[in-house]
Amino acid sequence: MTNAQTIQIAEAKGRPMLHWVGKRPLDHVTVYPAQLVERFDPLGEQTSEVSENLRGLGGNLLFHGDNKDVLAWLLAHGYRGKVNLVYIDPPFGSGADYVRKVQLRGIRGTPKLDGESYTLSEQIQYTDIWANDTYLQFMYERLLLLKELLTTDGMIYLHCDWRRIHHLRCLLDEVLGSENFINEIIWQHQIMGGSHDKRFPKAHETILWYAKGSGYRLRSENSNVRVPFSDYVLQSMKQDEKGWYYERRRMSRKATPAEAAAKAHTRTYVESPDVGTVATDVWADMLSYQELPNERQGLDLYPTQKTVKLLTRLISAASDPGDLILDCFIGSGTTAAVAQKLGRRWIAADVNKGAIQTTSKRLQAIIRQQVEAGAVPQQMAFETQTSEVSEDLGGLAGLTHSFSVYRVNDYDLQIQHNEAVNLAVEMIGIERVKTDAFFDGTLGRRLVKIVPFNHPLTLLDLQLAQDELKARPDEERDVVLVCLGKETSVDAWLAEYNKRRPVNKIEVIELRTDQKYGKFFIHQPAQARVRVERQTSEVSEDLGGLLVIEIEDFISPSIVERLEMDTPLFKAQIPDWRAMVDVVLIDTAYDGQTFNIVLSDVPERKNDLVSGRYELPAPEGVAPGSATTVAVKIIDMLGEEVLVTAEVGPA
């Protein structure tokens, strides 16, 4: 892009250093623009006179895009050295493609649908089925960027398990320095049964805790984290003559006076058994995923969603109210949700649009509860602190009951591309190969490269394929290029190339015109019929009238397709269109660029339905005789969005 820029990244100088094939230092990154696409601000806090493209940077931010692009953007826009705490839960290299399961609302017994893949699955070139070297480079680059964002006393938690902990520990030692290691925290799972045929059942995950430098500190009011005493200890508790409690340890024989005196000196006394004991680096007092059914509360099912209790302990121990928390693998939004509840500012990002929608929905509900309860998060008591970020932004603290959603590098276009790629793969019968850095799969004995669908096949694409084959002198397989459209010069180039090649011949499947694959499925977007009118009343006349918004019908061809039903049959069996709708958002003064959420209809439970009819006052500043543009954003159960706008004139 013409307005892209580059910023410099410091070299990693820690030891030991891990090496892999293709290891590249990250000394600079390209910065792509970010587009503000949505804002949730129920109290109208974002009213400062800053430029439109920078508004909201002092508060909570939710980014949709590749987190490498997101972190680079943050570095270029004043957040270098401003993040107090990072928590990340990156892909574990588990060999699994995580898919969230969704179900139609209010309809019992309907099959569950596969929504968008979770974290880094089929959304872009990454997946949780990694070539080892690719995974290491991926994490290395992001850790270098995160280090740049941390304050001098900042800290990072990295959540992992047995698959990658040895690699990630070495990467953290190299990027942050082994001297800045704080803890290896064991989060113990509850195991019910399990087989011991070849190994003991897996019963924990690990959180690696590092600081950026020696100046870090545990927060004084949070560092003495306590956990409940076990039932065994509680049963053995005894009071001394002053009323304090201590654990009475049994011995197999009567203690000598010296032993009794020594034991008395080593006793740990507590005022009450309820206060528990000091937490160690093994956390067995909180269940793992077994606690999640009580936390999801209508959230989509994310198989690796972390618990509120876990994030509460982590964030409380390493940050203060008003601090800035960053999670660039946000998933279901737990880090941002806990940060909001604890009075911290937050930045969240994910490559997956479904994760962004889930996090946005979750944070809207939390903030509305805070507003309705009159609760003021703790950081609001702090005065806004001017920083070197930008005087125009008024500092980085003080904004809490709102958040802004940004899209980096037009990521929606990439999502559409990958959806189309998946359809093409299924239709043609391509066998995906996820460990090849260039080719996407095989078709019989031929290698397959899918050319990005946002442009036709060009001579440059052909040259790239030829260069890749030259770098593989032992490769004898032919190649198939799959594309949508092709330049007129392509056929002549291919004819000349294939005439000279006994092996590595190149064939093209152009999906719009190919005789065999010419019926390539074209995605049909969701459609909605919305009625908007303006009414006046004695109450609302002076304020510009009342806006009445009614969704009369909605259909999602993607849901119909995945349920393998035709539309008439679908409507006969599921007559209420609201069963397909997850969220309804309304902006009563849409400017065509940023969607300001004035109303969000987010049902609390999975079987609840959206209302579908809404009455809202006309926006402030719109006179009774003036028009306003009303925008209605409907998100279906698969995460697909449809935006309907209507210009409403005088009542």
Residue 386 placed within a domain? no
Residues 216 and 230 in one domain: no
Cβ-proximal residues to 502 (8 Å cutoff; 6+ apart), any chain: none
Domain span at residue 441 reads 412-510
In a domain, 131, yes or no: yes
Same domain, 18 and 112: yes
Residues 270 and 297 in one domain: no
**Mapped to the 3 state alphabet, what secondary structure does 216-244 carry?**
CCCCCCCCCCEECCCHHHHHCEEECCCCC
Nearest to 367, CA basis, from 392, 331, 339, 409: 339
| 402 and 466, same domain (yes or no) | no
Nearest-CA neighbor of 367 among 340, 348, 345, 331? 340
Task: Give residue 542's pLDDT.
Answer: 52
pLDDT of residue 87: 98
Do residues 38 and 20 share a domain?
yes
pTM of structure: 0.72
* Pairing mode, strands 181-188 and 204-211: antiparallel
User: Is residue 520 in a domain?
Assistant: no
- DSSP for 414-449, please give it: HHHHHHHHHHHHHHHT-EE-TT-SS--EEETTEEEE
Is 515 domain-assigned? no
Q: How far is CA 415 from CA 51, 65, 88, 475, in A?
A: 29, 10, 23, 32
Whether 519 is covered by a domain: the verdict is no
Domain assignment present for 355: yes
Choose the final residue of a domain: 236, 263, 278: 278
Question: Looking at residue 585, what is its pLDDT?
Answer: 96
Q: What is the CATH number of the domain that holds 310?
A: 3.40.50.150
Residues 505 and 581 in one domain: no
> Is there a contact between 547 and 588 (Cβ–Cβ < 8 Å)?
yes
644: domain CATH number is: 2.60.40.10
Q: Give the per-residue pLDDT at 22.
A: 81
Provide the number of structural domains found in the chain: 4
Provide the pLDDT for residue 203.
85
The residue out of 475, 510, 545 marking a domain boundary is 510
Per residue in 253-287, is it b (16+ CB within 10 Å) or e — as a string? eeeeeeeeeeeeeeeeebeeeeebbebeeebebbb
Compute the Cα dihedral for 241, 243, 244, 245 and give only its sign. positive
Residue where a domain terminates, one of 454, 484, 510? 510
**Contact in structure between 246 and 237 (CB atoms under 8 Å):** yes
3-state secondary structure 47-111: CCCCCCCCCCCCCEEEEECCHHHHHHHHHHCCCCCCEEEEEECCCCCCCCCCEEEECCCCCCCCC
State both tokens at 500: 């000279």
What is the reported pLDDT for 543? 55
Are 172 and 181 within 8 A, CB to CB?
yes
Which pLDDT score is estimated for 121?
A: 30
Q: Are residues 461 and 370 in the same domain?
A: no
Q: Is 50 among the domain residues? A: no
Yes or no: say if 356 and 350 are a contact pair by the CB < 8 Å rule. yes
Same domain as 339, residue 235 = no
Q: Please check whether residues 175 and 208 belong to one and the same domain.
A: yes
Asked if 69 and 204 sit in the same domain, the reply is yes
Judge whether 324 and 336 are in contact, CB under 8 Å.
Answer: no
Q: What is the mean pLDDT of each run of 10 residues along the chain (651 residues)?
A: 73 86 87 88 63 50 92 94 96 58 75 53 37 84 97 96 92 96 90 68 91 82 62 66 58 54 56 69 74 51 75 92 94 94 94 87 92 61 34 41 86 58 78 86 92 83 92 93 85 91 91 67 78 74 77 90 80 88 94 92 88 91 76 91 89 59
Whether residue 268 is found in the same domain as residue 351: no
184, 304: one domain = yes
In a domain, 98, yes or no: yes
Q: Which residues pair with 446 in a beta bridge?
A: 443
Distance of CA 25 to the CA centre of its chain: 26
Starting at the edge strand found earlier in the chain, the sheet holding 613-617 runs: 527-535, 546-555, 613-617
Report the distance separating Cα 393 and Cα 58, nearest Å: 6
